Chains A and B, each alone.
Chain A
Amino acid sequence: MARLTINGKTHDINVEADTPLLWVIREQVGLTGTKYGCGVAACGACTVHVDGVPTRSCSLPVSSFTEAQKIVTIEGLSPDVTHPIQKAWAELDVPQCGYCQSGQIMAAAALIATKPNPTDADINAEMTNICRCGTYNRIRAAIKLAASNTKRG
């Protein structure tokens, strides 16, 4: 039994304690925007925010979370796709297949929250999610666009 706070809502979950957070989010809570890519913390498709920190949810058991921790998934990033990262993503048409993009967006949102003006080096260091469609250059451009929009806005 676990009690989680996801996107501002409390969920009581009846599941084996070692079940990874990713699968609880997808299968028990029913939010499928968070993706399974590897299950071994190597790809970033499952990235969510835990108290604002980008976290690979496939590799942490649900038992390691408490109700006090605020878990945010892609569905909860903004009420109506208005986060500066989401807007920049739309403006530059970043996604191809889109499968990696929930994780990419969550990682990027966490990056600009801590570094409002990320350099290329910051982006290289923090954006380690895999995209097999190869949207990396548009992701980089969109992060910079979001940063400059935020400054102006």
Chain B
Amino acid sequence: MTIAQNLSRRGFLAGTAATSGGLTFGFHIPFAVAQTANQPEINAWVVVKPDDTVVIRIARIDMGQGSLTGLAQLVAEELDADWSKVTTEYPTPGQNVARKRIWGDFQTAGSRGIRGSEDYVRKGGAAARLMLMQAAADEWKVPVAEVKTSKGVITHAASNRSTTYGKMALAAAKIEAPKDIKLKDPKDWTIAGKPLKRLDTAPKLNGAQVYSIDFTMPGMLNAAIKETPVPGGKVKSIDAAKAEKMPGVKKVLTVDGNAVVVIADTWYRAKTALEAVEIVWDEGANANASSASIAAMLKEGLDAKEAFVGNKSGDVAAAIAGAAKKIEAVYAYPHQSHMTMEPMNATAQWTADKCMVWTGTQNAEAALATAVPASGLTIDKCDVIRLNPGGAFGRRSSSHDFVRQAVLVAKEMPGTPIKLIWSREQDTTHGTYHPTTQCKLTGALDDKGNVVGLHMRISGQSILAGLRPEALVEGRDPGTFQGLNAQGPEGQFGYDIPNVLVDHAMRNSPFRPGFWRGVNNNQNAIYLECFMDEMAHAAGQDPLEFRRKMMAKFPKHLAVLNTVAEKSGWGTPTAPGVYRGISQHMGYGSYVAAVAEVSVSDKGEVKIHRIVAATDCGHVVNPQQVAAQIEGSFAYGLSALLYGEMTAKNGRMEQENFDTYEVMKMAEMPPVESYPVPSGGFWGGVGEPTIFVAAPAVLNAIFAATGKRVRSIPLKNTDLRKA
């Protein structure tokens, strides 16, 4: 199945059947899905074709995390579909607008792809099944209660009759949707909860999968872009005389006053000509920003008087003042780049009465909301067709700047489709970076080594302040406290400490922040879990036992911690030179823990021998995909720990490509043993959570191995050689 191809073909066919709207570009994307004999829509989620193929509509995007398959499993389960006949398609945000958001939210972020929609997509499947049953019962003139379904077949045992979903689909589509829908008990699942293969693997094995960057249309041109290297800078002047004469070049232009674009027949020609444009930048107010200036600003916030409070209980100042032992440490987390394998890109086509965008996005509705003002048209004249993204990790939800630019470029040549591709260099230097923060932790121990007080002062960047300041709550960014809040289904601080204060002095870097797989949990888990280790060490206690004493009120946190302790053999001997570190955290509704086994050579080389990870995400929809997400989270999180850092100088990001922005490769990837320990009764995310515990487990193991505390990320900056 090739989603993009299916989608464009469907758009074309359904469009020719639709009556409204002009065929401006020789094609038309339907805003209402046509009800035809070949395409009977039982409801918004389920289409059953005459050949019994079941098409399940997926509102959330699959960026590699497997939720396309997982969501289809949930719908197919309730539908009692024949899994071998299931395919999927993405509705468009324009269709969603026209149908009063019948598919709900398109946003695929915060590990919410499944848990944020499982209830209504399952109900969609269940309702479709009831309608198919009713249609058969009506035809056979028997009570619907006597009709049964299994694998896409409807039977009436008493009269020995049977039919298929495909045959009943048209009749079922006319039946009123049932109101009372009972979902299956997960223990009765036969499709959901099973380690089924992904639906979208085949085209990824022979180059057939169409990613956003591969999209093409007749008459399409290509564009390359160079944006101001300094945030907030402008184009002062350009000299395009040479570039305009280069082969294939159609146009050189300025976009939004801060970027230069070359349009050419091929992208490589556009990019080559762009290099030949002489650009003078007006660098603006951030021309002197540097990593050092940002770090100094953050450092000041560590002791600032004013701070937003995230979690407060008891009197932490008094507890610290009266402590038998006081421990203090400062940690730091840098800007990091998403480095999706596919750089940002989008294709747009604009005329005075229609604007279409084709792109890989985590949130097609947000992409549409970006395209509309850029197009100067009304929303009913715009739509976004989702193509497969080559990785996303939060970048494709943080900002659709590339969509805006593509539309503005397309507007310059009405009617001509233009694909704007960011070079890797443009992508790396114009990201929405992991927010940079520092944290000063002060712990108070009593004379028995119990933690009686903990103050975490976070100083640094707010994602909301950078991306959506209108979403700040009286100036405060609640997301800054991810995993450190006292309460909440998303994440809960998992220790019982009588006096706690977690507060945030907001200090915003000039470099735009974004949601980065794991988001603020990444640094918060490092701060808290490494400092736990520091306090355990100061108390002279085993890090596992030290934590356990404070976790009686948090049985789910404790259960995953106990799982990794048991599975890793915590407390038993390791191979010579190998040391263990442990950590736990909760985020995106899931409980996670890990043990890392690490050795550090005399030369200071770190080798991660083994990771043992446990996740309680409530319900598991596809265990083999959960395992894949856990492995992937470790690769991403350990890359961030070992190498991840964007540094700034003279107002510019210094790293431009994978040669200077290193990431983890095969040779460094440790074996990951993953243990899903679903306790049921809730739905937690899996795309991100295990990333939180990757870095702290390894850092704690490095301390066990060397006696050195690494408090600044990435590890490559610390000399671990034996003194």
Chain A residues with CB under 8 Å of chain B are 16, 19-20, 23, 27-28, 30-40, 42-43, 45, 73-75, 77-78, 81, 86, 89-90, 93-102, 105, 123-125, 127-140
Contact = CB atoms under 8 A, between A and B. Distances in A.
Contacts of A27: 222, 266-268
Given A39-B423, A97-B391, A132-B340, A137 B205 contact: no
Given A42-B659, A128-B666, A130-B658, A35 B342 contact: yes
Contacts of B202: 81, 90
A93 B628 CA distance: 9
Contact of B65 (A96, A101, A128): A96
B341 A20 contact: no
B635 A136 contact: yes
Give the dominant DSSP class at B's interface.
loop
Which of A40, A97, A127 has the most chain B CB atoms closer than 10 A to its own CB?
A: A97
A96 B203 CA distance: 12
Contacts of B665: 127-130, 136
A27 B220 CA distance: 11
B514 interface: no
B198 A93 contact: yes
B393 interface: yes
Interface in B177-221: 197-198, 200-211, 213-214, 216
A93 B672 contact: no
Contacts of A138: 628, 631
Interface hub of A19, A27, A74, A94 (most chain B Cβ within 10 A): A27
B206 A16 contact: no
Contacts of B197: 90, 93
Contacts of A136: 631, 635, 664-666, 669
B64 interface: yes
Contact of B635 (A39, A42, A99, A134): A134
21 contacts: A27-B268, A31-B207, A40-B424, A40-B657, A89-B205, A93-B625, A96-B64, A96-B628, A97-B392, A99-B211, A99-B340, A99-B342, A99-B390, A127-B665, A130-B658, A132-B636, A133-B341, A133-B636, A136-B665, A137-B669, A140-B669
Contacts of A96: 64-66, 628, 632
A98 B205 CA distance: 8
A19 B633 CA distance: 37
Given A95-B205, A99-B390, A137-B672, 19 more contacts: A16-B247, A30-B216, A32-B210, A35-B211, A36-B424, A37-B658, A39-B423, A39-B657, A95-B198, A97-B342, A97-B392, A101-B205, A105-B205, A127-B665, A128-B665, A128-B666, A131-B341, A134-B636, A140-B666
Interface string B412-425: 00000000010110
Interface in B61-76: 63-66
B663 interface: yes
A131 B666 CA distance: 9
Contacts of B268: 19-20, 23, 27
Interface string B385-398: 00011111100000
A100 B667 CA distance: 17
A75 B628 contact: no
A134 B341 contact: no
Nearest to A91: B197
B658 A40 contact: yes
Given A23-B268, A93-B198, A135-B628, A32 B214 contact: yes
A94 B66 CA distance: 11
